[in-house]
Amino acid sequence: MAEVLVYVDHVDGAVRKPTLELLTLARRIGEPVAVALGNGAADTAAALAEHGAVKVLTHDASEYADYLVVPKVDALQAAYEAVSPAAVLVPSSAEGKEIAARLALRVGSGIITDAVDLEAGDEGPVATQSVFAASFTTKSLVIKGTPVITVKPNSAAVEAAPAAGAVEALAVSFSEKATGTKVTGRTARESTGRPELTEAAIVVSGGRGVNGAENFAIIEALADSLGAAVGASRAAVDAGWYPHTNQVGQTGKSVSPQLYIASGISGAIQHRAGMQTSKTIVAINKDSEAPIFDLVDYGVVGDLFDVVPQLTEEVKSRKG
Amino acid sequence: MSLRIVVTVKYVPDATGDRHFADDLTVDRDDVDGLLSELDEYAVEQALQIAEDADDAEVTVLTVGPEDAKDALRKALSMGADKAIHVEDDDLHGTDIIGTSLVLAKAIEKAGFDLVVSGMASTDGTAGVVPALLAERLGVPQVTLLSEVSVEDGTVKGRRDGDAASEQLEAQLPAVVSVTDQSGEARYPSFKGIMAAKKKPVESWDLSDLDIDAEEVGLDGAWTKVDAAAERPARTAGTIVKDEGEGGKQLAEFLASQKFI
Ligand SMILES: Cc1cc2nc3c(=O)[nH]c(=O)nc-3n(C[C@H](O)[C@H](O)[C@H](O)COP(=O)(O)OP(=O)(O)OC[C@H]3O[C@@H](n4cnc5c(N)ncnc54)[C@H](O)[C@@H]3O)c2cc1C
Ligand SMILES: Nc1ncnc2c1ncn2[C@@H]1O[C@H](COP(=O)(O)O)[C@@H](O)[C@H]1O
């Protein structure tokens, strides 16, 4: 069976969920061979094997942390040349897309970004994409070279499928260009203890209607009662009420949770672009004409300062 | 010597319009009004600021697109760019992202550059990979997705806010940078700027000017193919209630009925 190269997104050896989803998709088109780079690379093997990786190629070097993107492209290319895969799958993070694009160009392959589903087809893998702010769904193919496809989080279920997951050291020699962009400083983001926005089953978001940084406490309280991640509209982020890392929409994160709760958000096209594919959508807005109500499964026309705290109390008492 | 800055700007269908596909499954660029991609306004803004901070600099805006894409160039010129290059050729219709990066890279090389400034993503394609592809093709450092950028003594510095960390980056010119919508509001063209833009030079280049064969670009030269496009079915109308004191409780009831609590 053909091998499919899967680029592993991990933090010091802890594999992030979108990579496990990629393994599910990779198994539809071949045998997953994972590529894990940087600090803790070898520690990823157990989780990857558990989810179907037949082989795990690892390499660690200081270049991965000290220089932007290119060392990882060199390594993925080395893996590509060692394996001659039928396809290359990369998580659709900002960095993942850049790595994938440069690899595609180097090896003379077409690239598809931001797939939300992937299936085997007669002419190679068929990628589903959600375009024009999620108002259209397309099916696309790579028709030159080896398909290089980046896949968004939440595109498939994580499935256990134990495989050998044999760890092999990858031989990498860095190109002259690898050290072109130096990382001179890094400030890690503080963890909030809440689920990762793009991975969460429930997202609770606040917009301009929240009217102040301090008021985001009521959005957070609802999120915590549901075990949810917190999101924000760009208006709330631009006002400085919530960090940009929590922005949902075209220039923020795309989320596709089981449940999305929007409070004080009007539902502009650029916001919808990042949440429209959520399974169940709920909104609280005092304007009954707000476009967000066109999307909802359940909407409450009312003041979020009344509705949200009441909902939080009710959730808490029902959960006991 | 003058700092030569090339800003890549895309002309895109208005996101608030009814965007759709043409019969050949390319983005329909005729039925919906186009404009300079809002995310490229940030690139123009940062390029102008870098130029203002330099002793001597020249900002050239570059687009690859149909006839109407001139509108995007005019807007960038009215914001303050010095000159514009429009790559236009019938054979470009349907070019994919790899092909677009080829045309842009050849044009940037022909124009001459010390710094390329791009937007974070186009608002129609939204791939966000053209800047990385340009760096790969031009063989220069990529310093991308910056929310802060500055150039001093031949070095570009910037801050890239990622998911896990915020990184400080540094590279020697020549380089390709891309900037996010967090990099600072773009200026509005002034009346004076709009008048001045009318007199600024706009060069037109076609594929032969760039030594690119028609087979390398366009729909037939694309390395990817869109097989089908379907409008997402409208969401079925939901239940909407007016809060009369029990809205939160009613919502909780709904969430419970859907097994979320
Ligand atoms: C290129 C580009 C990219 C963009 N990217 C993004 C993006 O990634 N994400 C994003 O979100 N936006 C994005 N935007 C901005 C987008 O167009 C909207 O401006 C933004 O989403 C509006 O945020 P909002 O809904 O919070 O604010 P508004 O549109 O002002 O809506 C606020 C809503 O709150 C309601 N409200 C007010 N008070 C209360 C109350 N007490 N109780 C209940 N409801 C109340 C109001 O009725 C209103 O509907 C982008 C725009 C551009 C041009
Ligand atoms: N046809 C084009 N003409 C000029 N610049 C472009 C074009 N396509 C993409 N770009 C540039 O590349 C950036 C990223 O685009 P994309 O990778 O298509 O999302 C944009 O913000 C532009 O700066």
Of A70, A105, A140, the CB nearest to B226: A140
Pairwise CB contact (< 8 Å): A288 & B240? yes
In what order do the strands lie in the sheet containing B3-8? A182-188, B165-172, B155-161, B142-152, B175-179, B115-119, B3-8, B57-64, B83-87, B202-205
Assess contact for A27 and A161: CB atoms under 8 A: yes
> How would you classify residue B103: left for phi > 0, otherwise alpha for psi between -120 and 50, otherwise beta?
alpha
Assess contact for B146 and B158: CB atoms under 8 A: yes
Q: How many angstroms separate the alpha carbon of residue B254 from the centre of ligand 1?
A: 25
Mean pLDDT of chain B: 95
Q: Copy the structure tokens of residue A269.
A: 């096209």
Of B128, B135, B243, the CB nearest to A300: B243
Report how far residue A144's alpha carbon sits from residue B233's, in angstroms, rounded to the nearest whole number: 32
Pairwise CB contact (< 8 Å): B127 & A102? no
pLDDT at A269: 95
> How would you classify residue A132: left for phi > 0, otherwise alpha for psi between -120 and 50, otherwise beta?
left
In this prediction, residues B66-76 reach a mean pLDDT of: 96
Residue B102 has pLDDT above 80, yes or no: yes
Backbone angles phi, psi at B116, to 5 degrees: -110, 130
Q: Where is average pLDDT lowest: B20-34, B46-60, B105-119?
A: B20-34
Pairing of strands A148-151, A202-206: unpaired
Confirm whether pTM is higher than 0.90.
yes
ipTM of the complex as predicted: 0.96
B 100-129 → A contacts, CB under 8 A = 101, 120-121, 123-124, 126-129
For A97-150, the pLDDT digits (tens) are 999 999 999 999 999 999 999 999 999 999 999 998 888 999 999 999 999 999
Per-residue pLDDT of chain A (320 residues; tens, 9 = 90+): 799 999 999 999 999 999 999 999 999 999 999 999 999 999 999 999 999 999 999 999 999 999 999 999 999 999 999 999 999 999 999 999 999 999 999 999 999 999 999 999 999 999 999 998 888 999 999 999 999 999 999 899 999 999 999 999 999 999 999 999 999 999 998 888 999 999 899 999 999 999 999 999 999 999 999 999 999 999 999 999 999 999 999 999 999 999 999 999 999 999 999 999 999 999 999 999 999 999 999 999 999 999 999 999 999 999 87
Report how far residue A160's alpha carbon sits from residue A162's, in angstroms, rounded to the nearest whole number: 6
- The pLDDT confidence band at residue B113, using thresholds 50, 70 and 90, is very high
Q: Name all domains of chain B by residue range, CATH numbers in brackets.
A: 3-221 (3.40.50.620)
Report how far residue B239's alpha carbon sits from residue B154's, in angstroms, rounded to the nearest whole number: 60
Q: Copy the structure tokens of residue A309.
A: 């705290």
Q: Copy the structure tokens of residue B14.
A: 């208005």
Q: How many angstroms separate the alpha carbon of residue B250 from the centre of ligand 1?
A: 25
Percent of chain B past pLDDT 70, that is, above it, reads 100
Which amino acid residue places its CA nearest to atom 30 of ligand 1?
A208
Residue of B26 and A62 predicted with greater confidence: A62
Which residues of chain B are within 8 Å of residue A143 when distances are taken between CB atoms?
222-225
Q: Copy the structure tokens of residue A160.
A: 């256990």
Helix B70-79 vs helix B38-53: angle between axes, to the nearest 10 degrees?
Answer: 40
Residue of B17 and A206 predicted with greater confidence: A206
Ligand 2, residues at Cβ distance < 6 Å: B 8-10, 37, 39-40, 43, 63-65, 97, 100, 104, 118-119, 121-122, 125-131
Report how far residue A16's alpha carbon sits from residue B223's, in angstroms, rounded to the nearest whole number: 30
> How would you classify residue A296: left for phi > 0, otherwise alpha for psi between -120 and 50, otherwise beta?
beta
Nearest ligand to the CA atom of B15: 1
Please give the DSSP secondary-structure letter assigned to residue A247: B
Pairwise CB contact (< 8 Å): B19 & A141? no
Q: How far is CA A116 from CA A112, A287, B226, in A?
A: 11, 33, 15
Paired with B142 in beta bridges are B176
Query: Which of B27, B37, B129, B160 to mutate to test binding with chain A, by most A CBs within 10 Å of its CB?
Result: B129
CA A133 to chain centre: 16
Nearest ligand to the CA atom of B135: 2
Residue B234 has pLDDT above 90, yes or no: no
pLDDT at B1: 66
Report how far residue A88's alpha carbon sits from residue A3's, in angstroms, rounded to the nearest whole number: 9
Of B25, B144, B170, the CB nearest to A98: B144
Q: Copy the structure tokens of residue B125.
A: 């394609």
What angle is formed at CA B14 by the lines to CA B12 and CA B20, rounded to 5 degrees? 85
Of B136, B139, B170, the CB nearest to A184: B170
Which residues of chain B are within 8 Å of residue A293 when distances are taken between CB atoms?
238, 240
Assess contact for A282 and A260: CB atoms under 8 A: yes
Please indicate if any CB of chain A lies within 8 Å of the CB of B141.
yes
Report how far residue B240's alpha carbon sits from residue B93's, in angstroms, rounded to the nearest whole number: 45
Percent of chain B past pLDDT 90, that is, above it, reads 87
Q: How many angstroms separate the alpha carbon of residue B130 from the centre of ligand 2?
A: 6
Report how far residue B116's alpha carbon sits from residue B174's, in angstroms, rounded to the nearest whole number: 8
Query: Which of A11, A68, A183 to mutate to test binding with chain B, by most B CBs within 10 Å of its CB?
Result: A68
Coil/strand/helix, residue A63: helix
